[in-house]
Amino acid sequence: MTITSPHLGSPSAAWTDARLLYALEEVVETELNRHLKVAKDWMPHEYVPWSDARNFPGLFEDGEAWGKEQSKVTEIGRIALVVNLLTEDNLPSYHHEIAALFGRDGAWGTWVHRWTAEEGRHGIVMRDYLLASRAVDPDKLEAFRMAHMNEGFESDNRHSMLHTVAYVAFQELATRVSHRNTGHQSGDPVCDRMLARIATDENLHMVFYRNLLKAAFELAPDLTMSAVRDVVVNFRMPGHGMPGFERAAAQMAIGEVYNMRIHHDDVMQPVLRHLKVLEMDGLGPEGLQAQEELGFFMGGLDAEASKFDEKLAARKARMAARAAG
């Protein structure tokens, strides 16, 4: 695709990843400086109930085997915490993906390393909380981690820097929402506070990428619209390859941690609305087609979410009737 751009010194120059990276460098620097001013450093160890910790079997004679009754979190809380932590565990693969696409130099490189360092805190504090509070089975957690990381991770959007920027603008918000709702459903105030802290970071990451996506729309509106269309239509959470993900995702949907309605209302719509993606004008033929397809898809997603809402309401009614009977 070719577009007219005053930034490239050519009346009709094809955007490549390299040209987009260069054109967006100043925006990345501005967003990085803004992020560093508003982001607050925090200590993972301050969010962990260390006084609840005791030895597990193994090298210690007083080791106590894990039992479900030891956990303070709800059943849905345990499921969602494992999924969320296993997602965070794949940070080395995520770092590799974005470092390969964004580079390690200049403002892009500084952001890549800063983002990785901040995300690293999330895995640290979640694992320490889960083990100290005995929230989940530690043996199964480690077995899942090994299986998940042995599979590796390849992003659906690794072919394109612009697709990756579009994806993470939505994915960071999806992660924030998943963490926040997990905290609400966990039944443990300590867990809720920890995940609220993580969610604050994820929201700042979303804002960084959303603002970058806005700048991309200003530079290359047709190309960016097509990338957003592709990402929204084919969106998958990064944990989709972990063991038992489909079943866990179904349980999290019923438990109202993350489901189709939440995905539509709390993840997709806020980003699209903020950037006025579906109202954007000045597009060429390809951009207009992508915008139209995106609008149709969002309408269909809303309809599917409504069907899910009805099924969930019926399920709740059945359970309430059983409890009353």
CA distance 191 to 66: 18
CA distance 305 to 276: 22
Q: Could you tell me which residues are annotated as the binding site for Fe cation?
A: 88, 119, 122, 172, 202, 205
CA distance 117 to 121: 7
CA distance 192 to 200: 12
Which residue, 207, 323, 216, is CA-closest to 280?
A: 216
User: Cα-atom radius of gyration of the chain, to the nearest Å?
Assistant: 22
Q: Could you tell me which residues are annotated as the binding site?
A: 88, 119, 122, 172, 202, 205
DSSP-derived 3-state class of residue 15: coil
Q: Which helix (H) or strand (E) holds 88?
A: helix 75-89
Residue 174 corresponds to which tokens in the numbers above?
Answer: 């999806």
DSSP 103: -
103 phi and psi angles, rounded to 5 deg: 90, 170
71 phi and psi angles, rounded to 5 deg: -80, 135
11 phi and psi angles, rounded to 5 deg: -65, -25
